[in-house]
Amino acid sequence: MLEVSNLACTRGERTLFRGVSFALEARGLLHVAGTNGSGKTSLLRILCGLGAADAGEVRWRGEPTRALREAYWREVVYLGHANALKDDLSATENLRIACTLAGRPTTAGAVRNALDSFGLAACAHLPVRALSQGQKRRSALARLALSGQAPMWILDEPFSALDVAAVSHLETLILAHVTGGGNVIFTTHQTAAIDASITQRFDLDAVAEKDPC
Amino acid sequence: MLSVMRNVIARDLTLAWRRRADVFVSVLFFVIVASLFPLGIGPEPKLLRVIGPGVVWVAALLASMLALSRLFADDYADGTLEQMLIGATPLSMIVIAKVFAHWIAANLPLVLIAPLLGLQFGLPADALAVLALALALGTPSLSLIGAIGAALTLGLRGGGVLLALLVLPLYAPVLILGSLAVEATATGMTAQPYLLLLAAMSLAALSLAPWAIAAALRISYE
């Protein structure tokens, strides 16, 4: 479904990676690994179309994503480092607008259930500025509970700032999405975050330029 | 698509309402700048009547520009803009919704309060009405042109000053037509051609600027 061929990315003078190629079939779960600064975030941003690659191409169902644009973005959920939450809106309002922007309008009940499943029922109506770091991350992740139809999830460090219960809930959600026919690409530094037996692993350190920065 | 635009407008207006101090600041700025001129120049009715239209327009221009940097900065900082860039709706449509909401929150109050400020300059009643009308027709193009600058200077250090340098020269035609419209009415001539030209400029900006803004936003990210 997603094919990546010969991607290269440079930041200033420094080449982050070159010749990155892999393919992800349906029900693919890909763990992008690498040390800090190896270009994991840059790679994910290129995959979802936010960043431009210096060389190479990303194809979705055989078509280059740069030509597909909205048709591709309708099928992608991207969660970056930034939570994309408005401090002055409540978790409920944030979730509704996020789903609307993604082209998947929801109902009030579905939003309540999604927040509930991430343990946010009690603070669903507080402005997000009043929430803790972990609660903010959970409100951002609650989008995933409403994004089952989007076949491609691209998650940048989804497990950061989460407690044990939330980590295991997110794992279940990711595994359910993959077994349901979706794809997930994620980065994480947590070692045992997701069962390694079904995970493809792509190590950016293996394709990194060898010269020291 | 229309429902997405409606939702974005509703969201931005809710945000503006919850942070209404920001709106208040730019209105207050407008009132103070326009009021300093009569104080500085002195109570000479004839002179005030001549400079009135221009002064109110320049003050409105500055106040409108003051609010511009907020247009995309918050969405950029918290990552919402990323989600808009890779959303299911074309970015230019979302941009139109955002600029429209921004115009209501930042410029409509200026339009409404301008006739009151015009009184300080002894403008006649029909000139006051034309002043509000000219602002209502001209400020949409200010918001749209300004949004291109705001998108280009997104995430830059010292972007605020750069934004002013980029945008203020482009505001000149609107300023000239807008104050001519009020002057024409005050001297007993018709303001219609100027008002029509202002409306035409806003429509032209509406049809061209959203694509430029969307392209500028993508450039800021890549």
Residues of chain A positioned with their CB less than 8 A from the CB of B84: 101
A136 shares its domain with A195: no
A29 shares its domain with A124: no
Among B3, B84, B88, select the one facing A74 at the smallest CB separation. B88
A174 shares its domain with A124: no
Q: What is the model's pTM?
A: 0.91
- Give me the residues paired with residue A208 across strands: A17
A141 shares its domain with A194: no
Residue B201 has pLDDT above 90, yes or no: yes
Q: Which residues of B45-78 are buried (b: 16+ CB within 10 A; e: fewer)?
A: eeebbebbbbbbbbbbbbbbbbbbbbbbbbbbeb
A6 shares its domain with A59: yes
Inter-chain residue contact B11 with A85, CB threshold 8 Å: no
Question: pLDDT tens for residues B43-82?
Answer: 888 888 889 999 999 999 999 998 898 899 999 999 999 9
User: Are the C-beta atoms of A196 and A170 separated by less than 8 Å?
Assistant: no
A88 shares its domain with A144: yes
Give residue B94's domain range: 2-221
Q: Is B156 left (phi over 0), alpha (psi -120 to 50) or beta?
A: beta
Task: Please name which of B137, B134, B58, B139 lies closest in space to residue B102, comparing C-alpha atoms.
Answer: B139
Residues of chain A positioned with their CB less than 8 A from the CB of B1: none
Residue A32 has pLDDT above 70, yes or no: yes
A3 shares its domain with A43: yes
**Cα–Cα distance measured from residue A100 to residue B187, given in angstroms and rounded to the nearest whole number:** 52
Instruction: Look at residues A105, A121, A150 and tell me which one is the last residue of a structural domain.
Output: A150
Instruction: Look at residues A124, A150, A176 and tell me which one is the last residue of a structural domain.
Output: A150
Number of domains in chain B: 1
Q: Find the length of chain A.
A: 213
Among B8, B14, B80, select the one facing A84 at the smallest CB separation. B80
- Chain A, chain B: beta-carbon pairs less than 8 Å apart: 81
The confidence score (pLDDT) of residue A213 equals: 46
The confidence score (pLDDT) of residue B42 equals: 84
Question: pLDDT tens for residues B170-190?
Answer: 999 999 999 999 999 988 889
**Cα–Cα distance measured from residue B31 to residue B34, given in angstroms and rounded to the nearest whole number:** 5
**Cα–Cα distance measured from residue B42 to residue B49, given in angstroms and rounded to the nearest whole number:** 12
**Cα–Cα distance measured from residue B94 to residue B215, given in angstroms and rounded to the nearest whole number:** 13
What's the gap in Å between the CA of B12 and the closest CA on chain A? 10
Look over chain A and give the mean of its residue pLDDT values, rounded to a whole number: 87
User: Are the C-beta atoms of B75 and B8 separated by less than 8 Å?
Assistant: no
Look over chain B and give the mean of its residue pLDDT values, rounded to a whole number: 92
A100 shares its domain with A144: yes
Question: What percentage of chain A exceeds 90 in pLDDT?
Answer: 28
Question: What percentage of chain B exceeds 90 in pLDDT?
Answer: 70
Instruction: Look at residues A150, A179, A198 and tell me which one is the last residue of a structural domain.
Output: A150
Give residue A134's domain range: 84-150
A200 shares its domain with A116: no
Inter-chain residue contact B15 with A89, CB threshold 8 Å: yes
Q: In this predicted model, which residue has the larger pLDDT, B158 or A64?
A: A64
Among A48, A73, A85, select the one facing B88 at the smallest CB separation. A73
- DSSP class of residue B157 equals T
Question: pLDDT tens for residues B107-154?
Answer: 999 999 999 999 989 889 999 999 999 999 999 999 999 999 999 998
A159 shares its domain with A213: yes
A164 shares its domain with A69: yes
**Cα–Cα distance measured from residue A169 to residue A47, given in angstroms and rounded to the nearest whole number:** 25
Residues of chain B positioned with their CB less than 8 A from the CB of A103: 4, 87-89
Q: Strand, helix or coil at A203? A: strand
